[in-house]
Structure 1
């Protein structure tokens, strides 16, 4: 546990290399957070839920509890999320010092061994920090894109050579009664269980995610101008937001903003940064549909967790080739047709940690599979990510499905 703690914490710092103090304070929209806040909040989690269990522990800056709490109402009030970019104080140097102090205290606590219940909370904190590592990248990408200079997060990130698209085909999925949900001894969030039975109708899944070339055809065919392709809320969003193409695509439809700056659009790579509305509209245009999360999981759980994830560069979706179901893990999160609701028999964690997942089961949709910004040891077949349907700044794409 001590070694894992050090590895996860070190990765967060590594992701900040090359960012200035000014970069790390920017909040480009209410849904995003400054890099500095991510670093402080993930530290606050360990201070609050691990070190704070010791009655003798005294935080050096108890007033920071208000600044770096996110949504844990049961442990106290918090600074408004849309205003995190206003927190010029504490300074970045003070946040670095905060991380170091908490890490020193945590390492001392871990070296003495942990009872099982506290070990579970530490693992939850590490998984939580890995979630914020992905958010750190997606949030800073959006912030840099908002800068008219379009600066790169990683000047050394060179895109792969343009690939040859793998032919799109369909593979029959399992049907009948199947089990989904987390099973086994490894870590899982509470919303991944309990494992339960569900009925799958005969269906097929596409062998790979939709690529940029295919989505460009949708754009060029007037997909953003045809209301019959869109859900009502989606069409209203397209009109009010003026969407004409995926987030980060340039108007020439041949290039896009990446963490390496503006680069040529690889036609064979999975399309990314789509909202649920866009994914659903494309599927309808293509004469298909989005898979349910049960269809997706029943296929993915038979595959090893292998793919283009955060551990590899470039941190941008790239093409893959081969046989069978490709890119089920990594590159882009895949929108499903399933709303984010609880499984039968779901029970949130006790106490304040019960606020982690359960209270967000309203008005959001499930994504599966991880992305190029997801740590490899953080993803699994049962992992349920969720976002509101209009969200676009995540590395989200789609895989088609159809009935058979």
Structure 2
């Protein structure tokens, strides 16, 4: 087994505790956001790499703004805003809550300073403690909003890491976010295997009393034809074969919009890959490293995933095929290991259930992001969270290595536009049963 070593700084712990009460979970989540920002300089926190990304400082302030506007202002008597201007600066897309700073220009917000954003977080946390210690803070409505706020902040924790990688990848110094000595495994992946699933009427959507987003509801019956699912994610080694075979230069493999994107953006490899005299390298949260053949490919768009599947003679799974397989496997999104900020190669050995469902990369599906039958968005501004984006996007399933532990589940529906590839997104192949 051939390996190459890379030395980086000492890691920041990423393990999260397993608190049980809403209050414990809230403040553990709030603290984890600060821990994720701890390796960064104030300069790192203010810059925006591209329109899709946001500065770390903005993420830290926006999730705080969410608690202020949806929890504290409606439910804590006598609450005083930290700063009236923050509603304009840190609103994301909630039309009902007023105008906002343009998303592509968030990196121009050199003021307020990072120090003032940290003071804002402390102010809101103190107010949340006051609310939760009161009788009103124990109400069903406050508990529901706190749970939404926790899950919302967890989403931004992953986005914080995603956006820092986008920023560091543009830096000629190729800085590392994470630290610790580690080894890049340059051995080849094990052969891909296939798992067959029977068709039928399957119950899909979230059906338990545990938390879910409104876009996972209501549960309903779906017709799933017999299908075959790959036992693991597509690897870097397989993607290198796609490149070598002219995958990015063969128009017949691509959807029309995808082929336009390939030529407009000059895509020749996944995002953050670089071809050098020494071979292919990939920018990661651990700096610029050799591409590891057996690791799952990441940072590919839906267009690329679809073209690869076509080149393979296969296809992408539907979201209901993926969900059916995940439910049958009994897999859950557990807490990630301390310090691991890269996808893992698939575990060795024969298995009768799919590997890498959670915790390596999100996985594109062939399903458009649409409402389930009978879907109704929640009332009020909170209803803008999911429903209004159910157009022109694709569903992703699973979870990445940057997704906070326990955040995802088999029914979780992530969604992105088909051209986007800065997220930690890969793919798994599927096919009909012959």
> Distance in 1 between the 2:333 and 2:29 partners?
20
> Distance in 1 between the 2:91 and 2:170 partners?
26
What does residue 67 of structure 1 align with? 89
What does residue 393 of structure 1 align with? 422
Which ranges of structure 2 fall in alignment gaps of 5 or more residues?
1-21
What does residue 354 of structure 1 align with? 383
> Distance in 2 between the 1:215 and 1:155 partners?
27
What does residue 262 of structure 1 align with? 288
Task: State whether residues 29 and 150 of structure 2, in contact with CA within 8 Å, keep that contact through their aligned partners in structure 1.
Answer: yes
Alpha-carbon deviations, 1:314-343, whole Å to 9, x = none? 211120214231001110000000000000
The alpha-carbon distance between structure 1 residues 159 and 114, as it changes in their structure 2 partners (threshold 3 A), is: farther
Task: State whether residues 340 and 362 of structure 1, in contact with CA within 8 Å, keep that contact through their aligned partners in structure 2.
Answer: yes
> Distance in 1 between the 2:401 and 2:128 partners?
29
What does residue 42 of structure 1 align with? 63
Q: Shift of the alpha carbon at 1:107? A: 1.4
Task: State whether residues 290 and 401 of structure 1, in contact with CA within 8 Å, keep that contact through their aligned partners in structure 2.
Answer: yes
Which stretch has the larger CA shift, 205-214 or 301-310? Answer: 301-310
Q: Shift of the alpha carbon at 1:60? A: 2.5
2:109 to 87, 100, 125: 87
> Distance in 2 between the 1:349 and 1:305 partners?
29
Task: State whether residues 309 and 373 of structure 1, in contact with CA within 8 Å, keep that contact through their aligned partners in structure 2.
Answer: no
What does residue 121 of structure 1 align with? 145
After superposition, residues 287-366 of structure 1 pair within 5 angstroms as 287-306=313-332, 310-321=336-347, 322=349, 323=351, 324-366=353-395
2:161 to 113, 137, 146: 137
1:28 to 33, 40, 49: 49
Which ranges of structure 1 fall in alignment gaps of 5 or more residues?
none
Length-normalised TM-score, structure 2: 0.91
What does residue 12 of structure 2 align with? none
Q: Shift of the alpha carbon at 1:307? A: 6.3
Q: Shift of the alpha carbon at 1:57? A: 1.7
Which stretch has the larger CA shift, 151-160 or 13-22? Answer: 151-160
Task: State whether residues 332 and 409 of structure 2, in contact with CA within 8 Å, keep that contact through their aligned partners in structure 1.
Answer: no
> Distance in 2 between the 1:67 and 1:291 partners?
40
Matched, 1:15 2:36: yes
Task: State whether residues 292 and 337 of structure 1, in contact with CA within 8 Å, keep that contact through their aligned partners in structure 2.
Answer: yes
Length-normalised TM-score, structure 1: 0.97
> Distance in 1 between the 2:336 and 2:120 partners?
26
2:180 to 152, 156, 163: 156
Alpha-carbon deviations, 1:194-215, whole Å to 9, x = none? 0000101111000001000001
> Distance in 2 between the 1:64 and 1:310 partners?
33
Task: State whether residues 362 and 398 of structure 2, in contact with CA within 8 Å, keep that contact through their aligned partners in structure 1.
Answer: yes
> Distance in 1 between the 2:139 and 2:403 partners?
29
> Distance in 2 between the 1:232 and 1:159 partners?
40
Matched, 1:108 2:98: no
The alpha-carbon distance between structure 1 residues 258 and 86, as it changes in their structure 2 partners (threshold 3 A), is: same
> Distance in 1 between the 2:406 and 2:100 partners?
31
The alpha-carbon distance between structure 1 residues 48 and 311, as it changes in their structure 2 partners (threshold 3 A), is: farther
